[in-house]
Amino acid sequence: MSVPYVVTISSEKGGVGKTTLATNLAIYLKAQHEDLPVTLLSFDNHFSVDQMFRINKQRSQGDVTGLFTGAEADDLVETGQYGVQFISSSSQLHVLRRELEDPSLLACSLANSQLGGILIIDTRPDLDIYTQNALFAADRVIVPVKDAPSLENCRHLYDFFDSHGLSRRALRILPCLVDARIHYDGPFRDTYQLLKAYAINRGYRCLEGYIAKSPKVESLNTNPEGRIYPILTHGRHTEVHVQMSHVARQVYLHTLETQPLRLDEARLQTNRDQERHQSAFEARIQELKQNCLVCDRPLVKADGIEPAGYFAQSSDHKITGFVEEDCFTSLIFRYFYGAKRTIEAHDPIQDLFRESAQRSYFLLQRAPNTRNFYQQKLSFYRFDDKGLEVSHKTIELQEFEKRLLNKERSDLFPLLERTLFDEQGRLGDSFLLFRKVSSDLPEEILYDQNYEHFSAIMAKITSQLP
Ligand SMILES: Nc1ncnc2c1ncn2[C@@H]1O[C@H](COP(=O)(O)OP(=O)(O)OP(=O)(O)O)[C@@H](O)[C@H]1O
Ligand SMILES: [Mg+2]
């Protein structure tokens, strides 16, 4: 497997020359190293990359959003002009943006690719989730700055690196759009010297050199053909041509000395995380009570877990297990919703309850301030999806109930004996929290992310209880 070395071009400031740098850097790198695979993609929605590199009018399958939705990076790549490969830009980034939270998705997706060589990523002037993903995957981040405000904004990039445990050494400032006509008195003679001094003063490292502001370069975007021309072919006589060559050489030299590559590290990290998730999950499975906490039917078997309705855990974590759907519903209806009749499995009221229960948490606990009462009282709470109380009801616990002429043991007792009762058969201080699970895969709730969510809700509920 050969992952690419990743260069991300990023700056929160708009119009500082990111796209011009990203697209031309790809061309210079390819021109300097014919055999080096160079791939380019952009999370901007201006389609400059597509305009500049697409050879055929026909679009390839997929675009950059595929990198977040399970497509293989290698399948998205199109061969473009000047020998540069590219992945189509997308006008739909805003749709996916709302759903994405994890900055490591792109790194995971690219870590499985065979792209090799160098991948250049152009970003939007915004530290949105796409930019975060591009930063997370990068061996080198080039930050174009053109003035003092754009340099101030760099702080957010450094903060992002710090907060994600990434090495700041990947970041390099590059003064861009430097107007050579401006001169100052004093030690910093021009904009380049001044920006460089500002950067060094803040502890930011710079690439060597800068990119000058050039009317010729600016004009390469605007012409009757509606094309974007490269500096290499159409701006050879500008100083920017020399400056771009120098930037490309520095990038190439860094590829030679970078070992391991960021994506190799990301892959190792992903593997380690997966192993950690798997062993945490297996440990939770080991802790499970084997049988339904109400009827005692075996649910946890060697080859998996039988369909179950609810996951239950006590707040002291001593009891973790499952309860069958019908056991839970009939118990709740009989004791807390005042059902006069037995609720059968096919009863429409079951379906209604099952539907709404998916957005609820249920809790059983000794009623508040009844620790030393002779007559035990049990409270039942219902909370919404966010862990906010919806309703509650308290009942007196009676072990034997009168049903017609016979005494019958309350169904609550076997459950409480297995969970909340102490050795004397008295309710302790902990509570039992229930959450509906998918009947196909009840153990899903024990996967790290779901389990963390359940635990967070349990903590929130704990803080609200009287
Ligand atoms: N070296 C240069 N000299 C003169 N003009 C330049 C130079 N580099 C870029 N430009 C021009 O500056 C404008 C902004 O450049 P570019 O689109 O590359 O910036 P950007 O940072 O990608 O912008 P955005 O943040 O909007 O994506 C463009 O009109 C471009 O042609
Ligand atoms: Mg741009």
Mean pLDDT, the chain, whole residue set: 92
For 5-270, CATH number? 3.40.50.300
* Spacing, Cα 10 to ligand 2 middle (Å): 9
Atom 1 (ligand 1): residue with closest C-alpha?
Answer: 213
Answer yes or no: is pLDDT of 303 > 90.
no
What pLDDT sits at residue 403? 67
R_g (Cα) of the chain, nearest Å: 31
Residues bordering ligand 2, an ion, CB closer than 5 Å? 18-19, 44
* Spacing, Cα 18 to ligand 2 middle (Å): 5
Atom 8 (ligand 1): residue with closest C-alpha?
Answer: 17
Of the listed ranges 64-73, 223-232, 282-291, 309-318, the least confidently predicted one is 223-232
Domain residue ranges of the chain, discontinuous segments joined by +: 5-270, 288-464
- Ligand 1 atom showing the smallest separation from residue 20 Cα: 18
* Spacing, Cα 133 to ligand 2 middle (Å): 17
- In this prediction, residue 148 has a pLDDT band, given cuts at 50, 70 and 90, of confident
Structure tokens at 212: 């000058």
What pLDDT sits at residue 405? 67
Tokens 């309705």 found at: 309
- For residues 80 and 354, the model is more confident at 80
Atom 9 (ligand 1): residue with closest C-alpha?
Answer: 17
pLDDT digits (tens, 9 = 90+) for 154-181: 999 999 999 999 999 999 999 999 987 8
- In this prediction, residue 304 has a pLDDT band, given cuts at 50, 70 and 90, of confident
120: closest CA among 25, 206, 221, 216?
25
* Spacing, Cα 124 to ligand 1 middle (Å): 12
pLDDT digits (tens, 9 = 90+) for 416-439: 999 999 999 999 999 999 999 998
Answer yes or no: is pLDDT of 130 > 90.
yes
Average pLDDT over every residue of 182-198: 82
- For residues 337 and 141, the model is more confident at 141
pLDDT digits (tens, 9 = 90+) for 320-329: 999 999 999 9
* Spacing, Cα 124 to ligand 2 middle (Å): 6
Measuring from each residue's beta carbon to the nearest atom of ligand 1, which residues come in under 6 Å? Answer: 14-20, 44, 125, 177, 211, 213-214, 217-218, 221, 240
pLDDT digits (tens, 9 = 90+) for 383-400: 999 999 999 999 999 888
Q: Which ligand has the shortest distance to the CA of 238?
A: 1
